[in-house]
Chains A and B, each alone.
Chain A
């Protein structure tokens, strides 16, 4: 049982939770995730860690409500408990001193796990240019925090309501055109990562993506999270979550992520109906 000590709404569907988890706060590194479960009937879902406070013994999670489990978490408030929080899981991000710029791209809630990676690159002495992308202004999150760490921040919105109008790859191309980019880190929806990877591939820029597939245990036991990387089957939970973007079979991953779509939609409808009664 882990106590929620703070909650902040970023938008109607995105919220930040600060949760007591002293051991995880201490042992987690950039790139790690946790598995959480809400209630005795809850499922186990992975969430990337957006930050931690070792002294207060807390970790920060950012969640977008989509299905039943994220909605259940979204409905919790300060003083409530998350039934289970286990981690930190996965491999930590490899941070190396780069000659050129690190291009850090975040789409939607992908900015949350991107933030600690930006901070770690900055701490390693790298120049970091961040491209934050979302459909519309309200969905750009953690902008101030990113600005504190990145050397420059470019905002992209699909509808042009904030920053520059266009998708993430437009902002990426601008940066690549004007300065030497040594590495790109891209975290966001699978489809966004797919196109970002195609963009950097054109310029031969080493690129890392962080995958968020379906998981059950999160420790390598079940293989639900498997993806094809460089022609080989990899487990996102233990081999990842970060992989070489140019080796990931995004189409296969997108198909697998939609595997339980019908069940998920039906469960959400049932849950909503139960909430209204």
Chain B
């Protein structure tokens, strides 16, 4: 999809926009300091599930919005996988039209309150901001996005985007995570009759089972899903396409095309001795128990271990979510064991900072090689290999190599393995006409069409393991491709 440059230019020349832009000189705008997000005190928040980032006030948001220069060729938009009209929404904030700002975002993003919280903006829009390019701190686009979405939700005036007249064509999204929800929103806007099938009992995918409450409250995900419901999107939980019914069964029921956004699925383990003993689990299991099943709440039936000395293995955002969750569930020591150094850590800088503030103990350049169990089969120690950095690999990341003969043994009563996920084979296994790559991801062309013409796919089932925003970008792109495909079939 290409950004419509002509339309952008015309919008930029609207009278209100010119007026806002000319009210302050660029030099004065650039002299303003980037706003600081207020955060709950680390020693308070690490004992509760309260959201860490408190959000901006109206004054803070309008002040920050002034920093945006409203560039004629906005770099930020090219950094946004869903191509939000960033200058337009920010200038709406500057002039105090917050509901208009929210509406602008929702023209292209179905989940603004989610993106405003969990997008790695520093790697997306903010990395392309004119300020970043001139070595200054980028406009806080992410904070502003969140502000606009939260303001709208609290106003009770949640706008439903304009919908094309219903065309009666049934299409399905498989999986209700960020890819599926974005796809559903975009297709509903185009007038399609959309049903989202979800394997779990709750809608939201990784937004519900994976990302913890302190980073993305479930009530916010619910509000975005409700908005999709109001747009006519139907949801079928407890339905596993490929098991409960196949795509062929659904074709017979009138579905004309499918979008597979079933996610990454299978957690990876390290296959080291003792890894199957009691108290060792995947981050998917740990986070699902706590986030989806509410296991830390005594009135819920699902149990979870409350480790005192917790080891989390890995350096991604999921590892950060796991260490911070363990701390909140009362652990005295939480060790983040990562085989490389801080520089190579794939987690967002903000998550690393938050984890450090909350008292997580980082054991960098360490890698577990064995777990030792007590007589009941419960983990009691982890043997860690000390590592050092070797030559850079093909991606330029320096590879960790073991320091011969140097190990450390630490006491632990719970281990969370967070070393990545493999694609879930459920959909490809049930539908052999969908070809997979060597990694097990679904094969899809640039238009995100799979080897079966009426099946499109995106998010982690195609990418392996990626982010919420990239999954959303795929959902949006697949919707455009599917729309084109269905129109060509008429």
Contacts and interface: CB of A to CB of B under 8 A. Distances in A.
Interface of A: 23-24, 27, 37, 41-44, 68-69, 72, 83-89, 216-217, 219-224, 226-228, 233, 235, 238, 252, 255-256, 258-260, 263-264, 267
Given A41-B301, A216-B288, A238-B425, A27 B244 contact: yes
B73 interface: no
A68 B239 CA distance: 25
Contact of A217 (B200, B294, B376): B200
B288 A86 contact: no
Contacts of A259: 278-279, 377-378
A43 B278 contact: no
A84 B447 CA distance: 36
B301 A222 contact: no
A260 B266 CA distance: 22
A216 B285 contact: yes
Contacts of A255: 277-278, 376-377
Contact of A222 (B278, B285, B294, B425): B285
B267 A223 contact: yes
Given A43-B293, A85-B238, A217-B200, A263 B303 contact: yes
B271, B282, B301 — most chain A CB neighbours (10 Å): B301
B243 A27 contact: yes
B276 interface: yes
Contacts of A41: 294, 299-301
B293 A260 contact: no
SS class, residues of chain B in contact with chain A: loop
A216 B269 CA distance: 17
Nearest to A259: B278
B424 interface: yes
Contacts, number: 120
Contact of A23 (B245, B271, B281): B245
Given A44-B293, A87-B244, A88-B244, A217 B299 contact: no
Nearest to B245: A23
Interface of B: 199-201, 209, 237-240, 243-246, 249, 265-267, 269, 271, 275-279, 281-282, 284-285, 288-289, 293-294, 299-303, 376-378, 424-426
Nearest to A42: B301
B102 to A, nearest CB: 31
A132 B267 CA distance: 38
Contacts of A68: 301
Given A44-B293, A83-B201, A217-B288, A222 B302 contact: no
Contacts of A267: 301, 303
A221 B267 contact: yes
B276 A252 contact: yes
Contact of B199 (A86, A224, A256): A86
B284 A219 contact: no
A224 B282 CA distance: 8
18 contacts: A23-B245, A27-B244, A42-B301, A44-B302, A83-B201, A86-B200, A86-B238, A87-B243, A89-B243, A216-B285, A219-B426, A221-B265, A221-B424, A223-B269, A233-B269, A260-B303, A264-B303, A267-B301
Given A219-B426, A222-B281, 13 more contacts: A23-B239, A43-B301, A86-B201, A87-B240, A87-B243, A219-B265, A222-B288, A223-B269, A238-B425, A258-B278, A259-B278, A259-B377, A259-B378
Contacts of B245: 23, 27
B244 A24 contact: yes
Contacts of A69: 301
A221 B424 CA distance: 8
Given A41-B300, A233-B271, A255-B278, A216 B293 contact: yes
A85 to B, nearest CB: 7
Contact of A224 (B246, B281, B300): B281
A62 to B, nearest CB: 21
Nearest to B263: A221
A85 B199 CA distance: 11
Contacts of A224: 281, 285
Contacts of A256: 276-278, 377
A8 B209 CA distance: 36
Given A23-B245, A222-B288, A37 B201 contact: yes
Nearest to A38: B301
B266 A220 contact: yes
Nearest to A249: B276
A68, A259, A260 — most chain B CB neighbours (10 Å): A259
Contacts of B378: 259
A220 B285 contact: no
